[in-house]
Structure 1
């Protein structure tokens, strides 16, 4: 099989495994452990499933593709650049996401995601779960969406724009399990911003740090905010 064919299968494998993890990890965990509903334990176990997906894709890249997991060579930057890049990305995502959310709510008054409401008490004062969840999302999603999928789509179509747009679309779709338009378009916007940065600067570590910061600040805010104000997020 030619390299592009292996890349195509790898991209499909990654998306299918991530989608399956999002949709079916809790029913499977309930079947195996007997834990019903979303609890701190079941949610933590569902994050382990995401790490397993990352491991499977990593092994696929090594064994089947017979190449490097990251096609793009990591560029090195100064500590000052890291600080500036992380803060810039964070505020671009924060401000852009807020504007996008306001536009969505203006045209389509959405109720708060039921899944998000169910997660609030699970994370309440559980700092281990907050940190492990943020770390899982930051590392696994950036390695898989930007590090793995984006450059391979670019190689297949020989077009950087296709890698940016398609990876962002897939990133948005994977968040559709929250059940609201905002929870799809928000990640899509972040996916575009992160993909553009990765194409320009080729540094996955900065994206991991920023992704962790976005999720950590959001979850910490949810840890203390009143549930009736959740629409802000």
Structure 2
């Protein structure tokens, strides 16, 4: 199999098992634990599944593709650049996402995701679960969607713009299990911003830090403000 074929298979594998985890992760975990519904233990185990997926894709890149997991070499920058980049990315995503969400609310009067409403209670004052969840999302999603999928799409199509768009579309689709348009378009927008940054600066660590900050601040807001009042969330 050619490298393009191996890359295509790897991207397909990544998307399928991530989608399966999003759709069937909770039912599978409840079968193992015997506890129905969204509980702290079930959610924690569901996040562990995402780490396992990252390991599977990492092993695929090493033993099947026989390539390094990150095709793009990590560039090093001064500490000041990290700070500026993280803050800039955060506010771009916050402001852009807020405008996008406001537009969706204006045209569709969309309700808050039922899944988010059901998840909110298990994070209340559970700071370990909040931090673990944010770390999992930041590390696993950035390594897979930006670090793994995007550069391989660029190799396949020999077009960075196509890679940015497709990887962002996949990123948005993976969040469709929340059941709302905003939970698809929001991640799609963030995916575009992050993908453009990764193409330009080749630094996955900055994206991980920013992704963690976005999720952590949002989830901490859930701890102190009723989620029904968080229209931007």
Q: TM-score, normalized by length of structure 2? A: 0.99
Aligned twin of 1:88:
88
Aligned twin of 1:148:
148
**Aligned-pair CA distance for 1:112:** 1.0
Question: Partners of 1:191 and 1:228 in 2: how far apart?
Answer: 25
CA contact (8 A) 2:102 2:232 kept: no
What runs of 5+ residues in structure 1 fail to find an aligned partner?
none
CA contact (8 A) 2:74 2:203 kept: yes
Aligned twin of 2:28:
28
- Is 1:124 the counterpart of 2:124 in the alignment? yes
Aligned twin of 2:103:
103
- Is 1:64 the counterpart of 2:61 in the alignment? no
Aligned twin of 2:202:
202
SS in structure 1 opposite 2:41?
helix
- Runs of 4+ displaced beyond 2 Å: none
Aligned twin of 2:7:
7
Question: Partners of 1:14 and 1:200 in 2: how far apart?
Answer: 24
Deviations 1:44-93 (A, max 9, x none): 00000000000000000000000100000000000000000000000000
What runs of 5+ residues in structure 2 fail to find an aligned partner?
none
Q: TM-score, normalized by length of structure 1? A: 0.99
**What is the CA RMSD across the aligned residues, in angstroms?**
0.6
Aligned twin of 2:174:
174
CA contact (8 A) 2:90 2:214 kept: yes
Deviations 1:158-184 (A, max 9, x none): 000011000000000000000000000
Question: Partners of 1:27 and 1:112 in 2: how far apart?
Answer: 23
- Is 1:188 the counterpart of 2:188 in the alignment? yes
Give the number of equivalent residue pairs. 233
